Chains A and B, each alone.
Chain A
Amino acid sequence: ETGVTQSPTHLIKTRGQQVTLRCSSQSGHNTVSWYQQALGQGPQFIFQYYREEENGRGNFPPRFSGLQFPNYSSELNVNALELDDSALYLCASSGGVVAEAFFGQGTRLTVV
């Protein structure tokens, strides 16, 4: 059983650029959720994908978008980066045991 892996672990982008973050879900899981965790805050729900379809979205602007692939891995894309997008982005996969989401180690995004 493989865990949830995210890539890259760290990256630095310039304001206005675009970024793609990746997540490989745990084996047997068909649901991926993305969270943004600003420094000193709790994670905030961005959106969720279930079997390649968006299945709920938090209070984030449309420049945050995502994809889920047939193997249930997922991407988070952020366009027109702003300084406030600097955060730890967490991916969680679920769909196995009821109400049990497994988190990756996160991608630390710094926007300068």
Chain B
Amino acid sequence: AQSVTQLDSQVPVFEEAPVELRCNYSSSVSVYLFWYVQYPNQGLQLLLKYLSGSTLVKGINGFEAEFNKSQTSFHLRKPSVHISDTAEYFCAVSLPNTDKLIFGTGTRLQVFP
């Protein structure tokens, strides 16, 4: 079975500061990895995904993530955050070609002016 752990439930940060949201996963087989963002009262929007190949993945809104197989991690980073980045961020995994996502519990990113 697969599982996802998001180590921080909340991450407060000041505007224009860098941020890292941590994600670790558990799986005995290869998985696809995802980060989704959820703004208040909305559905989920895909930020980026890792399927294979280069371990550094760039996504929308200036976010990037790095897949680390040895540490089973897929941490999300942004060098300079904006107020508009305030949202809930979910890390997820799926088995290849299934589209069945297993989500972590989420990290609330709060950006302060």
A residues sitting closer than 8 Å to B (CB atoms) are 4, 31, 33, 35, 40-45, 48, 56, 90, 92, 94-95, 98-106
Contacts and interface: CB of A to CB of B under 8 A. Distances in A.
B101 A43 contact: yes
B44 interface: yes
Nearest to A98: B51
B43 A48 contact: no
Interface string B26-62: 0000001010100001111110010100000000000
Interface residues of B, number: 26
B69 interface: no
A99 B41 CA distance: 24
A89 B1 CA distance: 23
A90 B88 CA distance: 15
A99 B93 CA distance: 10
Q: Which of B92, B99, B104 has the most CB of A within 10 A?
A: B99
Contacts, number: 63
Contacts of B104: 42
Given A31-B99, A48-B100, A105-B43, A99 B105 contact: no
B108 to A, nearest CB: 9
A36 B31 CA distance: 22
Contact of B100 (A56, A100, A105): A56
B87 interface: no
Given A99-B49, A99-B99, A42 B90 contact: yes
Contacts of A56: 98, 100
B45 A103 contact: yes
Nearest to B105: A42
A27 to B, nearest CB: 17
B43 A104 contact: yes
A102 B43 CA distance: 9
B42 A99 contact: no
Contacts of B98: 56
